[in-house]
């Protein structure tokens, strides 16, 4: 597939994964429109970190996926849509579940309707491994049972099912990607790896919740490469695809690795306010990535230690991006 001059819309382009994806697409020669959540400061998020020559080639639209008319205007004329915009914090979903249903379910409905109305050639909906909950078996295949163990995961399950219905009912060429735990530069301290790194670098204690759950951590460059490989394929319309490293490690062991890599003397301390409700904690996430490997040829290229080093370097040189010492949900 040729990306040069391809008209592409990325929602959530100002965010962690969205900014990396947007940057790569511009470098590939695509004509990219970045849909950025409307805000009174005209804040473009991580797009501000792009080189000037990348920013100049980018069209930025301030909008909100909860506004159908605005979404339809952004989608009109686009050939490919990457839908990444979402409310993403599991802890915050306990506090404000209505926002997650509104944005992740109804916002996705708006995107699907606009894509259908304007006849986009391909659409990718970004989902999450959280939809699996604590799995009955690992590694987790796409056919595994879905479990709404948090309002966040429930809202993403709802969004996935809407995408499935638009493929089945309207032949919308949409594919769902369930990304496992992506990490890397630009990720906020709401996620486990950045929150551990910031504390290891700048504090004498590392406050954590449960250190027993295991996760499948995938470096952001690999996740982005996977998204592009998936959308380039014509074999995946109506399908769900896992993108993960195929390896798991406990959050406690990640903390120990980060302490070694940062040469930190910080001590690990359990913080009860960081614990998920008992029945909401997802204890294991490990991707079976056979499907994406077989159908697209994608495979992860950055191992965990190298990815952690790159992430540590970013946080060390961008402390202004992090609220050091504050627990963010």
Q: Which residue has the tokens 């790159």?
A: 310
Q: β-pairing, 249-250 with 214-215? A: antiparallel
Q: How many residues does the chain have?
A: 329
The interaxial angle of helices 192-202 and 304-317, nearest 10 deg, is 60
Task: Report whether the peptide linkage leading into residue 16 is cis, meaning its omega lies within 30 degrees of zero.
Answer: no
User: Is 29 within 8 Å of 5 (Cβ atoms)?
Assistant: yes
Catalytic residue among 68, 92, 152, 314: 152
User: Per-residue b/e over 145-155, b at no fewer than 16 CB within 10 Å?
Assistant: ebbbbbbbbbb
327 is catalytic: no
Return d(Cα 64, Cα 41) in angstroms, integer: 15
Structure tokens at 210: 């449960």
Catalytic residues: 152
């Amino acid at each position: 597939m040729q990306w040069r001059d391809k008209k592409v819309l990325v929602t959530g382009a100002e965010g962690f994964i969205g900014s990396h994806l947007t940057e790569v697409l511009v470098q590939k020669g695509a004509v990219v429109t970045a849909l950025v959540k409307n805000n009174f400061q005209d804040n473009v998020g991580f797009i501000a970190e792009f080189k000037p020559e990348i920013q100049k080639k980018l069209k930025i639209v301030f909008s909100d996926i909860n506004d159908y008319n605005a979404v339809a205007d952004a989608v009109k004329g686009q050939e490919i849509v990457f839908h990444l915009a979402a409310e993403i914090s599991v802890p915050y979903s306990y506090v404000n579940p209505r926002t997650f249903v509104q944005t992740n379910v109804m916002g996705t409905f708006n995107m699907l309707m606009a894509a259908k109305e304007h006849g986009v050639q391909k659409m990718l909906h970004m989902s999450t491994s959280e939809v699996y909950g604590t799995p009955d078996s690992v590694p987790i295949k796409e056919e595994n049972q879905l479990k709404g163990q948090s309002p966040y995961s429930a809202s993403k399950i709802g969004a996935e099912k809407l995408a499935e219905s638009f493929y089945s009912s309207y032949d919308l060429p949409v594919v769902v990607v369930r990304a496992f735990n992506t990490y890397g530069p630009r990720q906020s301290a709401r996620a486990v790896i950045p929150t551990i790194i910031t504390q290891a670098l700048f504090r004498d204690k590392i406050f954590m919740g449960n250190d027993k759950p295991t996760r499948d951590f995938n470096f952001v460059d690999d996740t982005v490469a996977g998204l592009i490989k998936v959308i380039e394929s014509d074999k995946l319309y109506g399908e769900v695809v896992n993108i993960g490293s195929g390896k798991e490690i406990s959050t406690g062991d990640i903390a120990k690795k980060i302490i070694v890599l940062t040469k930190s003397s910080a001590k690990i301390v359990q913080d009860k306010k960081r614990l998920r409700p008992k029945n909401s904690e997802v204890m294991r996430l490990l991707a079976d990535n056979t499907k994406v490997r077989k159908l697209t040829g994608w495979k992860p290229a950055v191992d965990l230690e190298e990815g952690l080093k790159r992430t540590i370097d970013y946080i060390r040189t961008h402390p202004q991006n992090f609220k050091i010492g504050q627990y963010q949900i």
